[in-house]
Amino acid sequence: MDSHNHFLANESSLIDPFGRTIDYLRLSVTDRCNLRCTYCMAEDMTFLPRAQILSLEELRDVATAFVDLGVKKIRLTGGEPLIRRDIIKLVSAIASLPGLEEVTMTTNGMLLSKMAQPLKDAGLGRINISVDSLKADRFKELTRLGDLDQWHKSIRVAKESGFNKIKLNTVILAGFNDDEVLDLAHYAVDNEMDISFIEEMPLGAISSHERSETLVTSDQVREQLERNFSLVDSVETTGGPSRYLQVVGSKSKIGFISPMSNNFCSSCNRVRMTAEGRFLLCLGNENSMDLRHVMRSHPGDSVLLKAKIVEALHSKPERHHFDPNRTDIVRFMNMTGG
């Protein structure tokens, strides 16, 4: 039986044509954001009209379909997920889906001081909070609109709200924050958090810097860290394209997300939904299916929705081909859901 037939014969699990089991969905709930990070967005962005964004019910239906098909983990993202109206209701609806093991979120943290506890109470399992600098002026420069004091306040509340483990996400850019690798890692260790260092990807055309000049590879970050921390391989795996090291003598792990320097596509376990309902098979390719159209032309037809998801998975590419010198993918990260 070839992999294609095998896939059709077993529709309760999502297995792509390269034999990879997909059990992780990243669901973007909005393309809008209260920040404008230089590497993620242009300064002057046009956002989608609200009617084009999936409604709360559509987001819930799509999540339900994926979970029925075997997805075990859903990460809510954006844009900034916390500016989406009724996000708490959505977390609660998704957290109660039978079969789902975990609902998580990636946020810039700005609104967490008000929302961390309600999110925890609604069933959010873990939370990733982005931060690229611990210097107030630089934080402001990189995010264009952010306020580091507010971020710290949010972190304090998030820690008190009882999340198991908070993970920080940091994009390191040469000449902007590559001198803060150690400070950021120390901050994570001192606060018993994990931290992932992410290589900048060439998603969307930006004017603030040349991405080919700012790329810092995970190996370069790791070299800096190994001079100051004792790091050992961690057993933890997300089953996806990130690698973790345990900081010896601490509760913290350091992760490396290396889409530019290291290709982990062969172990990819994830797919994405954009805020407008495009089912995106790979971050670095445009292969997708318009599931909003499916849902709006056949409201309530969950059988059709699941069949379309299964059909679309046939076109999951084998790998991405990112090149920091080229912006082949014009879609910005806020559209995609990081």
The residues that touch ligand SAM, with contacts defined as CB under 6 A, are: 33, 39-40, 77-78, 80, 106-108, 130, 169, 171, 198, 200-201, 203, 333-334, 338
In whole angstroms, give the CA distance from residue 165 to residue 98.
23
Cα–chain center distance at 224: 25
- 168, 184 in Cβ contact below 8 A? yes
Residue 272, interface with ligand SF4 (CB under 6 A)? no
Torsion of CA 61, 64, 68, 71, to 10 degrees: 120
Taking CB under 6 A as the rule, does residue 37 contact ligand SF4?
yes
Q: Which stretch binds ligand SF4 (CB under 6 A): 33-41, 61-69, 160-168, 254-262?
A: 33-41
Count other C-beta atoms under 10 Å from residue 206's C-beta: 19
In the set 40, 119, 273, 275, which binds ligand SF4 (CB under 6 A)? 40
**Nearest-10 crossing angle of helices 112-122, 87-95:** 30
Q: With binding defined as CB under 6 A, does residue 15 bind ligand SF4?
A: no
Q: How far apart are CA 166 and CA 101, in angstroms?
A: 18
Nearer to ligand SAM, 166 or 333 (CB): 333
Instruction: Please identify, using beta-carbon distances, which residue of 77 and 133 lies nearer to ligand SAM.
Output: 77
Residue 36 touching ligand SF4 (CB under 6 A): yes
Instruction: Tell me which residues in 314-333 interact with ligand SF4 (CB under 6 A).
Output: 333
CB of 207 to ligand SAM, least distance (A): 14
Contact between 271 and 75 (Cβ < 8 Å): no
Non-local CB neighbours of 86 within 8 Å, separated by 6+ positions: 56
Considering CB distances under 5 to 8 angstroms, the limit depending on partner class, which of ligand SF4, ligand SAM, none binds residue 241?
A: none
User: 215 contacts which partner out of ligand SF4, ligand SAM, none, CB within 5 to 8 A by kind?
Assistant: none
Phi, psi for residue 49 in degrees, rounded to 5: -60, 145
Would you tell me which residues interact with ligand SF4 (CB under 6 A)?
33, 35-37, 40-41, 78-80, 108, 130, 333-334
